Structure 1
Amino acid sequence: MLRIMIAVDGSDLALDAVHHALELVRRGGLQATLVLGHVQEEATLLELATQGADAVANASVQAGSHLLASAVALVEAAGVPYETELGLGPVAATLVDMVERCGCDALFIGARGLGGLRGALLGSVSQQLVHMSPVPVTVVKHAEADGQV
């Protein structure tokens, strides 16, 4: 059975990637376990100094679980097998580590679909993943992005 990592950050863009994977399972007959992965960026020194490492770690886990909730609800409603993974660090590099650690065969990520100069200037986790990932990456463009300049 395939294992597909889906990058989830609580946004509609991430949910587009979840919907795409669920559509492949439903209509395409794909047999897969979805691994819903969320990455929290590391705390600043100020956060660590004022709140303490344990409090920051607990807040990160709670925030990650909250941001995964919508994706988990979609996958559970569809009856598709899934797992969740939380990581801490730079988003693209941490997702690549999670893909490798979890034995995933593919990675799905939602994107604004900016492309061109705007995308290059703003940077893009999806672009970084296309270059860094050891497995195929599917970038799911947001439906509204098709008509934007």
Structure 2
Amino acid sequence: MRPRHPRDVLVGYDGSDNARLALQEAIFIAQTSNARMTVVSVVPDVAATINAVWLAGGDPAQLSREMRIEVAATLEEAIEQIPEDVPVTKVLGQGHAGPVLVEQIDRIGCDLVVVGTRGRGAMRALLLGSVTEYLVRHSSVPVVVVPPPERLRDDLA
């Protein structure tokens, strides 16, 4: 069976070094496969944080607005890195990143997911990041996991 070329590559982007590497890999795959890209950034659920902010006398609604603005700016940062010859869809999600990304795979019809993973200490070196692990377990399409950059890999030894 010949491998298929992806038609729409989804990448989750949070602005981290690992997400930047995953984005670059997704761009490469999309360009070489003549595929579309879907970039998803997720505003996290902040219910517990909002309670703490409220108890400290802060404004939970303001915190929520600020988080949404920050994540939207991160998404725009990713979009700016994608060459003009690659068609792209951007999605600003809300909730837990893993389930939001899986939902987008099915909703948009992506056929490949590219994500980064982060380096961890020796005790947890065998574990992927929680979002990456969720995707590997729940995605209906192949998941490409991009390893951390060399400067973050030292703690994996």
Q: CA deviation at 1:111?
A: 1.1
CA distance in 2, matches of 1:140, 1:128: 15
Q: CA deviation at 1:125?
A: 1.6
Does the 8 Å contact 2:9/2:114 carry over to 1?
yes
Question: Which secondary structure does the structure 2 equivalent of 1:135 belong to?
Answer: coil
TM-score (norm 2): 0.77
Instruction: Choose 1 or 2 for highest CA Rg.
Output: 2
Q: 1:6 to 1:69 in 2, by over 3 A?
A: same
Amino acid aligned to 1:61:
R
In structure 2, stretches of 5+ residues that fail to align are 1-5
The superposition leaves residues 35-54 of structure 1 with CA deviations (integer Å, 9 ceiling, x where unpaired) of: 0001121122427854354x
In structure 1, stretches of 5+ residues that fail to align are none
The residue aligned with 1:59 is 66
The CA RMSD measured in Å over matched residues stands at 2.7
The residue aligned with 1:6 is 11
Does the 8 Å contact 1:47/1:56 carry over to 2?
no
The residue aligned with 2:114 is 108
CA distance in 2, matches of 1:79, 1:140: 23
Q: CA deviation at 1:120?
A: 5.6
Q: 1:115 to 1:141 in 2, by over 3 A?
A: farther
Q: CA deviation at 1:9?
A: 0.3
Identity %: 29
Question: Which secondary structure does the structure 1 equivalent of 2:33 belong to?
Answer: coil
Question: Which secondary structure does the structure 2 equivalent of 1:97 belong to?
Answer: helix
TM-score (norm 1): 0.80
Does the 8 Å contact 1:8/1:37 carry over to 2?
yes
1:83 to 66, 80, 89: 89
Relative to total residues, which structure has the larger helix share, 1 or 2? 1
